[in-house]
Structure 1
Amino acid sequence: MAEPSPKRFCGLRPRVILLGDSLTQQSFAPNGWGAALADAYQRRCDVLNRGYSGYNSRWVLQLLRSGGGFPGDSADAATRVVTLLLGANDAVLEGEKSQYVPLEEYKSNLRDIVSIIRERCPLAKILIICPPPVCEWQRLEFQKERFGDQATGKPERTNENTGRYAAAALEVAAQLSLPSVNLWKLMQEVPFDWSEFLCDGLHFTEKGNTFVGKAVLREISASLPNVAVVPCKHTGAYGNSGSSSEIAIDCPFWDDLDLENPLKSLGA
């Protein structure tokens, strides 16, 4: 377990950046997995959502190459963690939509994206998250609800094909010595109907978001302990003096203040 957090004076906080597609863009919804990370890093890091709905790895790479996405680190604001969740749109069946990206290009794009992250954020720990499974019958139901008589009756994604992209993401993570979370596998191993994790066969329900948040935080604790936060053993909270991390907190917790002279505790 990490030692109690070192105190630091008020200033710019380090960053955690969540990079991906709609599965990341929507992660700040109530009970979203990104919100779970923001909760875990409260008072320690600003968690930035850089999810781009509908984007594939090719477009995210082009965005980063153009200088977009997120700024590089500065002396005042370093990035500690970057999560990378792409592949759900790359895995659209070939010929169905323009989002499709061939498997080998997807792997190359991930490697190039990681290279840019490392250049912009040299201190950051990178966690690759594999795309989740696809529930094909839910996709067909969603298609009918959205398009009515114009629905094709054919899924634009399949779980089997998305599994290939999940395996490719794992391969890239291993090649680059990066930790990973295999959502495609983990979600299908639960002892209940895993379709409960998805609202339209693709995007997460509240239950799915909770699962993803726990899986990501668990992997950070296991593989990246120096940037993990240990919650208070008494309350389970991440934002009190019982929590701990190697990442310093932004100003002392209230119960660590000199109550007779708070300014002294704040360095004033």
Structure 2
Amino acid sequence: MHRTKADIVLRGYAAWNSRRALEVLDSIFPKEAKEQPSLVIVYFGGNDSSIPNPNGIGPHVPLDEYKENMRKIATHVKFHNDSQNLSEKTRTIFLTTPPINEAQILHNIDPQGQLERTNEACRIYAEACMEVCDEMNVKGIDLWSAIQKNDNWEDVCFIDGIHLTNEGSKIVSKEILNVLKEAEWEPSLYWKSMPSEFGEDSPYDVVGPDGKTTYNLSNFIYPDNDMWD
């Protein structure tokens, strides 16, 4: 969808939590960089909400600390008129932790019956994330609720009870696109509203049916993109 319109950079680190994110926040989003992102999507909570280890190790982050960490991340990347941040053009979306399928986790990951996370804990951290979004005026997407609105979500949305299948990822993508479409941001970051890079007509474009003219594909909507309208 965003081909020829935007460069998308994925920075995902396995088993990370909001505490570790704060340690590298300045390195990933340096404020002195000449080019700053137009959109930052922040996705923490699943590992933070895991059950605490009695030895104090592991990815769990207490709820109050998690909320404070998310506030600090929002303050760093979100545009504020009265504070130093990345850029006036940088917009922010927070994603909550999605639900989990506890039965599937026990079957695929932890056959000993020792769950390291629960769906109830995911709910609590998802609600906390949305509270921070309201407080900080950040766009938030409640994935915990959105995924569970779908029929048979427990059966079709997870590879192993935690990580999302293609079907689960489609739900996330649609939720993000809905925010981009409805947000009153200037310029718009919705894919149909964004200009194509190097979108001018060229004699090197695909030759049309008449054999004499060319067809500019820069803004062509492929059939499989209709579902993302």
Change (3 A) 1:78 1:62: closer
Q: CA deviation at 1:113?
A: 0.9
Partner of 1:180: 140
Secondary structure at the counterpart of residue 155 of structure 1:
coil
Note if 1:48 corresponds to 2:6.
no
Take 2:185 and 2:152, find their aligned partners in 1: how far apart are those partners?
31
Q: CA deviation at 1:167?
A: 0.2
Q: CA deviation at 1:136?
A: 0.3
Partner of 2:155: 195
- Say what the alpha-carbon RMSD is for the aligned residues: 2.4
Structure 2 residue aligned with 1:140, among 68, 89, 106?
A: 106
Checking the alignment, whether the CA contact within 8 Å between 1:125 and 1:224 is kept in structure 2 is: no
After TM superposition, the score normalised by the length of structure 1 is 0.67
Take 2:104 and 2:203, find their aligned partners in 1: how far apart are those partners?
51
Partner of 2:190: 229
Q: Counterparts in 2 of 1:77-226, with a 5 A limit?
A: 77-95=35-53, 98-118=58-78, 119-144=85-110, 151-226=111-186
Q: CA deviation at 1:81?
A: 0.9
Checking the alignment, whether the CA contact within 8 Å between 1:73 and 1:121 is kept in structure 2 is: no
Checking the alignment, whether the CA contact within 8 Å between 1:50 and 1:70 is kept in structure 2 is: no
Aligned length: 197
Give the partner amino acid of 1:117: V
Take 1:120 and 1:43, find their aligned partners in 2: how far apart are those partners?
24
Checking the alignment, whether the CA contact within 8 Å between 2:36 and 2:86 is kept in structure 1 is: no
Higher RCO by CA contacts (8 Å cutoff, separation 6 or greater)? 1
Change (3 A) 1:62 1:224: farther
Checking the alignment, whether the CA contact within 8 Å between 2:109 and 2:160 is kept in structure 1 is: no
Structure 2 unaligned runs (5+)?
79-84, 206-229
Checking the alignment, whether the CA contact within 8 Å between 1:187 and 1:194 is kept in structure 2 is: no
Paired-residue identity, %: 27
Take 2:203 and 2:190, find their aligned partners in 1: how far apart are those partners?
19
Give the partner amino acid of 1:44: K
Q: CA deviation at 1:72?
A: 4.2
Take 1:103 and 1:215, find their aligned partners in 2: how far apart are those partners?
25
Take 2:10 and 2:95, find their aligned partners in 1: how far apart are those partners?
15
Take 1:132 and 1:88, find their aligned partners in 2: how far apart are those partners?
7
Take 2:31 and 2:7, find their aligned partners in 1: how far apart are those partners?
14
Change (3 A) 1:42 1:136: same
Give the partner amino acid of 2:43: L
CA deviations on 1:6-60 (whole Å, 9 max, x unpaired) are xxxxxxxxxxxxxxxxxxxxxxxxxxxxxxxxxx322122111111111000000
Structure 1 unaligned runs (5+)?
1-39, 145-150, 231-243, 259-268
CA deviations on 1:174-205 (whole Å, 9 max, x unpaired) are 00111111110011111334331111111000
Q: Counterparts in 2 of 1:17-36, with a 5 A limit?
A: none
Checking the alignment, whether the CA contact within 8 Å between 2:147 and 2:153 is kept in structure 1 is: no
Give the structure with the larger strand fraction: 1
Take 1:137 and 1:224, find their aligned partners in 2: how far apart are those partners?
41
